[in-house]
Structure 1
């Protein structure tokens, strides 16, 4: 099965692009979270909103990879990696810019915004942002939970999509085979007055076979 027919190459490219877009969007959401009303960010100890964003990322990645009608289950773990990686990258990117902008402007009273997204701010805050995954699990479990939710949701969605496409393909092939088997064959053409069965061929005379003498 070729990569083009199985949708493997197309799924890898489309899924990667979708993952990058989702990571950028989540990074912006993390950066702008301080601008949101406190009732939204503090609801449910701050878990529902990030979990909802993780599910949205899983849906976007799965929909993008499923749009190419994939027929190979190789894309299932790849979709899991893309979705979970998008959540992790978005969290780190947004937090790095937030920390870096705070370090560059001490005593700042206004929350960080999109205007603070610069390479120096990102590089300065990156070491502390990556500590989000280096600290003990008892402290960083929410961040890992968001990654796990996105990865698991993408795994289920892409598995269902590939299974559905493969079933549809098998049904089409079975229907095509059945139609070809039911098609009547055209009768063999015979010229007018041609017998239905060809006459038996007469034995040819062998030069080395002795001939019977003719009777007088």
Structure 2
């Protein structure tokens, strides 16, 4: 099966691009989370908002891969990898810049992050603390791992459904084309579909049965 027919290579590229875009978007959301209304972040400890973002990332990655009408099952683990990786990259990038900006600013001058805080120095300064988001004990980091699992599992399921539908549709199309390619049996006009069975003819030279004559 070629890459063109299976949609493997286009699906990999589309999923990767969608994952990068989602990672950048999530990093921006993490960086500017303090600018959101307090009621939004306080609701459920911010868990519903983060789960919604994870599901959104999964949907976007699945839509990007599904747009190329994929048939290859190899795309399923890659969809989970792209979605989960986007969550990890977004969380780490946004947290690193936010922490780095807070560390570099005086304690009495700290303010919500803005675009001016997105610098390589702030990223490098806050990266060690951002890495602790996943290196700490699971009892402290379970929420971060939950966001990754939700995004990865949702993307895998959505792409699996899309691949199944595409494969089923292409099997149906192939069966229809095969039926159309079969030439019908030629019959002349007014010719019956089945030739009548020939009637036995009487042979004048054949011996007769005296009992029947």
**Hey, what's the Cα distance between the residues in 1 that align with 2:181 and 2:9?**
32
Q: Which residue of 2 aligns with 1:139?
A: 140
Give, in angstroms, the shift of residue 4 of structure 1. 1.4
Q: Which residue of 2 aligns with 1:33?
A: 33
CA contact (8 A) 2:26 2:91 kept: yes
More helix by share: 2
Q: Which residue of 1 aligns with 2:164?
A: 163
Alignment of 1:52 with 2:52, yes or no, is yes
Give, in angstroms, the shift of residue 114 of structure 1. 2.2
**Hey, what's the Cα distance between the residues in 1 that align with 2:27 and 2:121?**
16
Q: For structure 1, which runs of at least 5 residues remain unmatched after alignment?
A: 188-216
**Hey, what's the Cα distance between the residues in 2 that align with 1:7 and 1:115?**
41
Give, in angstroms, the shift of residue 18 of structure 1. 0.4
CA contact (8 A) 1:28 1:114 kept: no
Q: What is the TM-score of this pair, normalised by structure 1?
A: 0.84
RMSD: 1.1
**Hey, what's the Cα distance between the residues in 1 that align with 2:165 and 2:106?**
55
CA contact (8 A) 2:14 2:65 kept: yes
Give, in angstroms, the shift of residue 91 of structure 1. 0.2
**Hey, what's the Cα distance between the residues in 2 that align with 1:56 and 1:114?**
24
Q: Which residue of 2 aligns with 1:111?
A: 112
Runs in 1 of length 4+ with deviation above 4 angstroms?
none
**Hey, what's the Cα distance between the residues in 1 that align with 2:114 and 2:131?**
20
Q: What is the TM-score of this pair, normalised by structure 2?
A: 0.85
In the alignment of these two chains, the number of paired residues is 186
Q: For structure 2, which runs of at least 5 residues remain unmatched after alignment?
A: 188-213
